[in-house]
Amino acid sequence: MNIKILFLPILLPFLAGILCILGRKQRIFTEGISLIAAAVNLFIAFVLFGKNLNFNLPWLGFGIDVSFRLYHFSAFIILAAAGFGFLVTLYSLFFMRAKEHLGQFYAYLLISLAFINGAVLADNLVVLLFFWEGLLMSLFGMIAIGNKNAFKTATKAFVINGVTDLCMMIGIVLTAHLAGTLTISKINLPLGLGASLAFILLMIGAISKAGSMPFHSWIPDAATDAPLPFMALIPAALEKLLGIYFLARISLDMFQLTHESWLSVLLMTVGVITILLAVMMALVQKDYKRLLSYHAISQVGYMILGIGTAIPVGIIGGLFHMINHAMYKSCLFLTGGSVEKQAGTTNLEKLGGLGIKMPVTLICFVITAASISGVWPFNGFFSKELVYDAALERGLLFYLCAIAGSFFTAASFLKLGHAAFFGKASSENKQVKEAPLGMLVPMIVIAAGCIIFGVFNSLPLKHLIEPILGAKLNGHHFAGMPGNIKLIIISVIVLVAAIVNHIFGVLMKGSGLKALDYIRYAPILSGIYNKAEKRFFDPYEIGLKVVNLVSALSWKIDRGVDWVYEKFSVKTVYALSMQIRNLQNGNYSLYLGLSIVSAALVFLLFFAGL
């Protein structure tokens, strides 16, 4: 096979994206181009899967080569990304039909796919960074074409990701300096002080791309402002795949991260904090998409926790959770999209009783909600159990936090499902019909995938996930029913508790939507929630405050320096010249004295040879 085929998954979607921009006035043209490009991209991904290819071309010198490496892990990510890309494109044909900026939407979608393929294939850190940072543009564009104020969210997303990408840039130069090479597959650093610093900087880039705390705050805003297929594709699926892929690369290959390292504890801590805080925010949301977006953040915590444990079972669990999450979360967003399209709103207060009118959407929702809550036999159950197993091995506290996150996840999905699909239909929802077939097909495909990946979990585990670790597994296999019966029992108890909690909440407040209100308005929590809703804890806002302080100080310095030029030096010169003017007072003896002194000076300079 010609090695140049590796350029195809990058160039083809990119050029198709450019075509979409150029021909943005013709709707059929752009739709056709993007569907074909997404399909061909998927086909290429299939062809590439299972192959090992290396490509290297010297480029800028300094070790910066155009080098690509197709191997099991990268082929797997590309295949998954291409699959989601195709399904979401299909969905968008129907969802986006009447919307503005259609050409731009497809263009950014395809360019994102191209750049993700490039970043995953890259075997040189600079090439990786090139594609990785290049995603900023399509991210900005995709959010900005949403509603009227979407550009503010787009800016927020750009700034957060831009800042973390710059951190990653420093991480890369530091890594290259320490390792003496930029080739990813040749780097294997022990975690000394410098390498730990480099690891943290690279980790910031990776977990920020995955949408973990504290780099998450643009995602809930984008959920309300950006077009919905964007949410289903980028933050729910592609960015998770890419971010977790890179996190796995740095902790498995590039650095020798062991479970004794403090960095492992740091990663796990970031993981559990993300799980808990984000799910607590998800509990109180009153918007379908916004609620889902907080879960998109919270679930990253499980992946980071799993990989952070640095023991095989955790890593396998984290990676398995990555692909599972991408599936159920993008399907959940798609159900949100069909609700939005058919009912005209995603505000849970205005929804209700949609289950009878939209049965297929309901079924897909139930399957995927059960997956995310960790119900047997869906895929989320198996990956979560693996992560729990590893978390318990590393520390009871991590396990307890993870399991608590599970409880709240289940609780909030009971609330969401109840409020949207059951209960009384509001008067506006009387005429709602099921979504068109083109939107249902992607949802059904992904939901079916959730079942297959759960029931036949040895299929993905043996063929997709376990080969990533290869020899590090020492022949262990993680497929089938989890071994630790106690953990399963606890998980079941937690789920039952969530259901009981829901029933209790409904009985107390009389509606599914308000089932969790007792948490929202609990004594201390309500104050915290009030502040959180005013974005008091938003790391972005806090960061901007710091920046504003710096800039106020800078402004003072700048104006101070200017004062020296504008006022101080002018006044000094005036004052001096006034003094000199006073000397010119017409006094003969003064003039004579000055002349004699000057003459003496001239003499000294020129004739005395001084």
* CB 52, min distance to other proteins, A: 27
- Fill in the per-residue mask, 25 to 64: x = in contact with other proteins (CB under 8 A), - = not in contact: ----------------------------------xxxx--
Nearer to other proteins, 11 or 448 (CB): 11
Q: Which stretch binds other proteins (CB under 8 A): 168-176, 351-359, 364-372, 433-441?
A: 168-176
> Tokens standing for 97?
């039909």
Q: Does residue number 200 form part of the binding site for other proteins (CB under 8 A)? A: no
Binding-site member from 170, 444, 469, 488 for other proteins (CB under 8 A)? 170
- Indicate the residue type of 535: R
Q: CB under 8 Å to 535, separation ≥6 — which residues?
A: 217, 541
Among 493, 533, 566, 568, binds other proteins (CB under 8 A): 566
Q: How many residues bind other proteins (CB under 8 A)?
A: 45
The residue from 552, 575, 580, 608 that contacts other proteins (CB under 8 A) is 552
Piece in contact with other proteins (CB under 8 A), picked from 87-95, 165-173, 331-339, 393-401: 165-173
Contact 418, 296 (CB under 8 A): no
* Three-class DSSP category at 152: helix
Q: DSSP assignment of 178-247, as one string?
A: HHS--BGGG--B---HHHHHHHHHHHHHHHHHHT-TTS-THHHHHHHHS-HHHHHHIIIIIHHHHHHHHH
Q: Which residue type, as a one-letter code, is found at position 591? A: Y
Distance separating alpha carbons of residues 63 and 449, to the nearest angstrom: 42
**Residue 555 binds other proteins (CB under 8 A):** yes
Q: Is 476 left (phi over 0), alpha (psi -120 to 50) or beta?
A: beta
354 contact partners, CB below 8 Å, separation of at least 6? 339, 342, 343, 361, 362, 420, 421, 425, 429, 432
Tell me which long-range contacts 423-427 makes (C-beta under 8 A, separation of at least 24). 423/352, 423/353, 423/511, 423/512, 423/513, 424/352, 424/353, 425/352, 425/353, 425/354, 425/357, 426/350, 426/351, 426/352, 426/353
Between 173 and 445, CB nearer to other proteins: 173
102-161 residues in contact with other proteins (CB under 8 A) are 126, 129-131, 133-134, 136-137, 144, 151-152, 155, 158-159
Distance in Å, CB of 280 to other proteins, minimum: 29
| Contact call for residue 167 and other proteins (CB under 8 A) | yes
Candidate residues 176, 351, 364, 506; the one interacting with other proteins per rule CB under 8 A: 176
Task: Compute the least distance from the CB of residue 446 to other proteins, in Å.
Answer: 32
| Residue number with CB closer to other proteins (32 or 543) | 543
Contact between 169 and other proteins (CB under 8 A)? yes
Residue 561 in the binding site for other proteins (CB under 8 A): yes
Among 2, 471, 524, 565, binds other proteins (CB under 8 A): 565
In sequence order, the 6+-apart residues with CB closer than 8 A to the CB of 376 are: 454, 488
Cβ of residue 17: shortest distance to other proteins, in angstroms? 13
Decide: 93 and 109 in contact? Cβ < 8 Å: no
Q: What is the distance of C-alpha 346 from the center of its chain? A: 23
**Near other proteins by CB under 8 A: residue from 173, 404, 444, 445:** 173
**Stretch of 167-175, 211-219, 383-391, 595-603 contacting other proteins, by CB under 8 A:** 167-175
Report, in Å, the least distance between residue 140 CB and other proteins.
Answer: 9
Residues in the chain: 610
At closest approach, how far in Å is the CB of 555 from other proteins?
Answer: 5
Q: Pick from 197, 451, 455, 479: which binds other proteins (CB under 8 A)?
A: 197
| Residue with smaller CB distance to other proteins, 145 or 247 | 145
Rg, Å, the chain Cα set: 30
Is residue 416 within 8 A of residue 348, CB to CB? The reply is yes
Q: What span, in angstroms and rounded, lies between the C-alpha atoms of 117 and 41? A: 10
Q: Rule CB under 8 A: choose which of 177, 186, 463, 472 binds other proteins.
A: 177
Q: Token pair of 429, please?
A: 């929802």
Sign, Cα dihedral of 218, 223, 224, 228? positive
542 lines the binding site for other proteins (CB under 8 A)? no
Measured at the CA of 545, the angle between CA 543 and CA 551, to 5 degrees, comes to 105
Q: Which residues are at the interface with other proteins (CB under 8 A)? A: 59-62, 126, 129-131, 133-134, 136-137, 144, 151-152, 155, 158-159, 162-163, 166-167, 169-170, 173-174, 176-177, 197, 544, 547-548, 550-555, 557-558, 561-562, 564-566
